[in-house]
Every structure is written in structure tokens, then in C-alpha cells.
Structure 1
């Protein structure tokens, strides 16, 4: 099972590879014969930077929300241990019952 930080790291790595591929394609000398290539390159660079920043920010927000949810669950388990234990026993009994019926 991959952690949130591993997923974020993998996503950022894939995004960086995509950006690198796109930049190397755009820096190709084959495009120099097109007069508007400088404007196109600038717009693409701006768009890539915007997408990268948005993706990184979204990944960081998701990781933060996951950490907050884990902290809330931990607090609840410490504040209400009997409820958590009762729920775990109930789920275990249900799973045992369903497996026994097979």
C-alpha cells in the first residue's frame, strides 16, 4: 500500500518528466522557421508553470487533509476508546458470521 507522500512524489516526478519532454520538444531547432514560435513557447511555458504550481498545491492540500483526518481519527479513538472497541468487535463479528456462512 502506497502512502500519500509516495503518491505525491510519484505524481510530481511524472509531471516533471512530462514538462521536460514538452520543453525539449519546444526547444527543437525544427520549430525555428515558424515566426510565432517565441510567443507560442512563452505561452506554453507559462501554462506549464501554472499547471505545475496547481498540481503541487493540490497534492499538498490533499496530503494535509489526509493528515488532519488521521489526527481526528486518532483523537476520537483516544477520547472514545470503548466506542471504537465496540465498533471493532461488531465489525469482526459480522465478518466472522459472513465467513462462517460460506
Structure 2
């Protein structure tokens, strides 16, 4: 894999991660807005539901932060591993890249 391929892979991982995190944040923001809007309902059942929902929301926010950290750490480890392998085995990496390119070329040309 070349540096360009590694950079492209890093960008794709970051893009996917960002989309996932943005979607989760949007859902959490919507839930927080609902929680604020429902604060006017003073019934006991609504208060209990709001409290449970608030706890769940706080847990989701905490889990999202942990997920972000985990994804980032794993992404870095994977990229470092590939980078290290390519530097330690340049000819193997070139052979693998050429083989994959050849196979993709054959598959694409058949369609």
C-alpha cells in the first residue's frame, strides 16, 4: 500500500466514523429537546418517565464518547500496523497491491 492508499483509507474511516457520530449526536440532541419540551408536564408518571429517559440519555452520551475514543484508537492502530508492515515489507506490499489491482481490473473488465 502506498502512502496515498493509507491516506485514502484513513479518510474513509474518518468519514464513516464522523457520519456515525453525527447521527448519534443528532439523535441525542433531538432527545434532549424533547426532554426539555416535556418539562411542563408535571404529572408523576411523566416525571418518572422523564427521569428514566434522562438517565438513559446520559448513558447514551457517555457510551458515545467511549465509542468515539475506541474507534479512534483502533483506527490509529490499524493504520500504524499497515504503515509498519509496508515499511518492513515493501516488495510484499507492492505485490499485494499489484495483485489486488489486477484482480479488480479483471473483474471490472468482465462486466
Work out the CA distance in 2 between the residues paired with 1:24 and 1:94. Answer: 56
CA displacement at 1:73 relative to structure 2? 0.6
Q: Find the structure with the greater CA-based Rg.
A: 1
RMSD: 2.5
The structure with higher relative contact order (CA 8 Å, sep 6+) is 2
Gaps of at least 5 residues in structure 2 are: 1-11
Contact (CA 8 Å) 1:19, 1:48: kept in 2 or not?
Answer: yes
Work out the CA distance in 2 between the residues paired with 1:78 and 1:67. Answer: 16
CA displacement at 1:74 relative to structure 2? 0.7
TM-score (norm 2): 0.69
Gaps of at least 5 residues in structure 1 are: none
CA displacement at 1:54 relative to structure 2? 1.1
In structure 1, the residue matched to 2:103 is 94
Summarize the alignment of residues 1-102 of structure 1 with structure 2, pairs less than 5 Å apart.
3-4=15-16, 6-7=18-19, 9-27=21-39, 29=40, 31-32=41-42, 34-101=43-110
> How many residues matched?
99
Residues 46-102 of structure 1, C-alpha deviations (whole Å, 9 max, x = no match): 111012111221232122111211111111111110000011122222233444555
TM-score (norm 1): 0.74
